[in-house]
């Protein structure tokens, strides 16, 4: 069976023209958001590579991935919340509190690494459940609930850390999270398995559609996507293997993102998240339990924030009073937004968490290499955020204008 034929209707969707023209049009229309942020990233890398020849070295890029692991993990949760059209201002404080809980349990109470990390994640989940329930049951905007949380959990963190204010981590397993690297061959093996998995999935997907007689997307698109993923994976492994190897933290971050991408795009829960973000009234009328979806998302976001806190603590090898504070929250929200996740809900992808964190991390890393002051760093990061969102607003205005 072929696609239903298009009868002339004034504003029927136009999908004509050469493939290149089509891609350019879709790019301009903001549909290929991830490609746009890749271009931004390439520009930033180009600028810093010209400004400082150490920027694109294996050791620096490896450091970059370690720098972004924690904020990237928190950004995954923020993306979920943004997809609902909500906001979670407490993720930074939650990451700090969870890290403090883990550190105190591990160092002062002698808990094993896994129970300590598990307790940190539970604290995150409980906070998410609390904030999500309060917001949905009492119909209080999440902005307010999580703002209150931001203050309260910061206080809880100070109280957990106690009078010393700093706890140095000494458990090897916890330190390894951000401190261990895969052997070269293991890195290659992981990349190979992932690429083969992607190819197999794509072939299976196309076979199924062909068997069902459905329209197939052009093969070129699949090939480009798979080759792109292959280059990114093998190229990435090649580069970091020049230095210390694939950081475990990066593997964990990518695995988390891949899982949540699958959850959002392939399961009923994910579909409902997008529906609630698109129109909660439509979702409610379709029989979706909107409050439950919202609450679950807040639980997931806070749990991811807690794990981000664990990763940050592992990298710092300590938890102190400023863990989870400073600009962490703002960067964790800015990342997905730079990568094209809409603040109004319903549009975005968790891969934006990785790409956005890479953009922000690259700016910060590159400016550090150039020994610029943090005043400049903040202003440039702010400029990039505004520029990215302005671009998004301009293109989505065009998208909305396309319909009657």
Partner 1 sequence: MTQAAVNPSGASASDGGAPLLKLRGIQKTFGAVRALDDVTLDVRAGEVVALVGDNGAGKSTLIKTISGAGPADGGTITFDGREVVVKSPADSTALGIAVVYQDLALCDNLDVVENLFLGREARRHSHPFSRLDEVAMEQKAIELLAELQVKTLASVRTEVGSLSGGQRQSVAIARSLLGEPRIVILDEPTAALGVAQTAQVLALVSRLRERGLGVILISHNLSDVFEVADRIVVLRLGRNGGEYPATSDQRQAVVAAITGVADDQPPAKADPRTSFTKEQA
**Residues interacting with partner 1, by CB under 8 A?**
1, 3-7, 9-13, 15, 208-209, 212-215, 266-269, 271, 274-275, 277-279, 281-283, 285-288, 345-347, 399-400, 402-404
Length of the chain equals: 404
E strand map for 79-175: 166-168
- Of 110 and 401, the one with the shorter C-beta distance to partner 1 is 401
- Of 77 and 346, the one with the shorter C-beta distance to partner 1 is 346
Give Dmax over CA atoms of the chain in angstroms: 74
Partner residues linked to 181 by β-bridges: 247
Q: Least CB distance from residue 228 to partner 1, whole Å?
A: 21
Please, how many CA atoms are within 13 Å of residue 244, restricted to the half-sphere of its CB? Answer: 16
Determine phi and psi for 181, rounding to 5 degrees: -125, 145
Q: How far apart are CA 140 and CA 131, in angstroms?
A: 10
- Of 110 and 213, the one with the shorter C-beta distance to partner 1 is 213
Q: Least CB distance from residue 316 to partner 1, whole Å?
A: 34
Q: How far apart are CA 253 and CA 276, in angstroms?
A: 26
Q: How far apart are CA 98 and CA 104, in angstroms?
A: 10
- Of 235 and 402, the one with the shorter C-beta distance to partner 1 is 402
Q: Which of 224, 235, 225, 240 is nearest to 182 (CA)?
A: 240
Q: Least CB distance from residue 225 to partner 1, whole Å?
A: 16
Q: Least CB distance from residue 70 to partner 1, whole Å?
A: 27
DSSP line for 183-196: -HHHHHHHHHHHHH
- Of 218 and 287, the one with the shorter C-beta distance to partner 1 is 287
The H or E element that residue 353 is part of is helix 351-369
Q: Least CB distance from residue 330 to partner 1, whole Å?
A: 26
- Of 50 and 400, the one with the shorter C-beta distance to partner 1 is 400
Report whether 73 contacts 311 (CB < 8 A).
Answer: yes
Q: Least CB distance from residue 296 to partner 1, whole Å?
A: 11
Q: Least CB distance from residue 402 to partner 1, whole Å?
A: 6
- Of 43 and 214, the one with the shorter C-beta distance to partner 1 is 214
Q: How far apart are CA 131 and CA 49, in angstroms?
A: 43
């Amino acid at each position: 069976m072929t696609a239903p034929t298009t009868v002339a209707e004034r504003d029927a969707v136009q999908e004509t023209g050469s493939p290149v023209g089509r891609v350019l049009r879709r790019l301009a229309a903001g549909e290929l958001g991830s490609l746009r942020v890749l271009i931004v990233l390439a520009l930033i890398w180009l600028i810093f590579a010209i400004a400082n020849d150490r920027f694109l070295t294996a050791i620096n890029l490896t450091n970059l991935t370690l720098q972004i692991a924690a904020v990237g993990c928190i950004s995954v949760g923020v993306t979920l919340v943004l997809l609902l059209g909500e906001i979670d201002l407490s993720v930074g404080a939650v990451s700090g509190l969870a890290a403090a809980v883990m550190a105190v349990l591990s160092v002062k109470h002698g808990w094993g690494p896994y129970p300590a990390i598990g307790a940190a994640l539970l604290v995150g989940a409980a906070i998410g459940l609390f904030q999500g329930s309060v917001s949905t049951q009492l119909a209080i905007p999440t902005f307010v609930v999580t703002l209150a949380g931001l203050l309260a959990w910061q206080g809880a963190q100070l109280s957990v850390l106690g009078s010393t204010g700093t706890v140095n981590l000494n458990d090897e397993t916890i330190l390894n999270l951000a401190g261990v690297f895969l052997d070269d061959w293991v890195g290659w093996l992981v990349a190979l398995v992932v690429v083969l998995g992607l190819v197999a999935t794509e072939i299976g997907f196309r076979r199924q559609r062909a068997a069902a007689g459905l329209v197939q997307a052009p093969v070129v698109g699949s090939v480009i996507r798979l080759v792109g993923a292959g280059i990114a994976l093998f190229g990435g492994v090649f580069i970091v293997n020049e230095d210390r190897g694939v950081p475990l933290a990066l593997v964990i971050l990518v695995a988390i993102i891949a899982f949540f991408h699958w959850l959002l795009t392939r399961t009923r829960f994910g579909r409902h998240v997008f529906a609630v973000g698109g129109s909660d009234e439509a979702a409610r009328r379709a029989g979706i339990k909107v409050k439950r979806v919202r609450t679950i998302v807040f639980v997931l976001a806070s749990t991811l924030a807690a794990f981000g806190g664990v990763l940050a603590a592992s990298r710092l090898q300590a938890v102190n009073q400023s863990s989870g504070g400073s600009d962490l929250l703002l960067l964790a929200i800015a990342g997905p937004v730079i990568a094209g996740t809409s603040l109004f809900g319903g549009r975005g992808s968790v891969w934006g968490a990785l790409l956005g964190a890479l953009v922000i991390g690259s700016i910060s890393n590159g400016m550090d290499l150039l020994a610029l002051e943090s005043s400049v760093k903040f202003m440039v990061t702010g400029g990039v955020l505004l520029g990215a969102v302005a671009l998004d607003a301009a293109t989505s205005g065009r998208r909305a204008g396309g319909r009657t």
